[in-house]
Amino acid sequence: MQTYQIVFKFQWQGNIPAQQIQLNITDQNSFTTDGQNTLQIQPYMAASAPLLSNFSMSSQRLFLNVGAASTQQGIQVTLPTAISGDSLQLNLSANTSEVSVSYAVMGLPVAGQLQAGNNTIPLQG
C-alpha cells in the first residue's frame, strides 16, 4: 500500500445557500493521517473561502458542511490516501451544478473532475 497526497478542490458556481458535501471511499483504500502525512484545508482560487460550519474525516469518509457561498469561492482539501492497486473508487454526494469538484494527485500527472455518484481516480497519467 502506498500513500498519495490527493488534493480535492471545491469551487462554488454562484451564490449558493448552505450545502453538505460528502466523499466516501467505496473500495479497500483509505484516507489516513499520521506523523508524516497531515490533512490540510485552505481557500482555493479565491480571496476567501466560504464558511466551513463543520468538517469530519474518517478512514472512508470526508464530510464538509459549508455555509452560504458566493461565486468563485472555494475550498481545497489535501488528504493523504493509502492506496493498494492502481485506482481509488469514490462516491460523491454533492449538488455538482452548484459546486465544481476536481482532484489532483500530487507527484503524478493525474487530475480530473468528479461528478455526483460513483467516480474512479486512476493512478496512471
Question: What is the average pLDDT across 45-64?
Answer: 88
C-alpha 33/C-alpha 35 separation (Å) is 7
Q: Are 22 and 31 in contact (CB under 8 A)?
A: no
What is the rounded average pLDDT for all residues in the chain? 91
Q: Are 81 and 30 in contact (CB under 8 A)?
A: yes
C-alpha 13/C-alpha 1 separation (Å) is 36
Provide the 10 A C-beta neighbour count for residue 44: 19
Domain that holds residue 48: 2-122
Task: Indicate whether 125 pLDDT > 60.
Answer: no
Number of domain units in the chain: 1
Give residue 54's identity as a one-letter amino acid code. N
Between 75 and 46, residue with greater pLDDT: 75
pLDDT band of 95, cuts 50, 70, 90:
confident
Q: Tell me the CATH number at 72.
A: 2.60.40
Q: Quote the cell numbers at residue 104.
A: 489532483
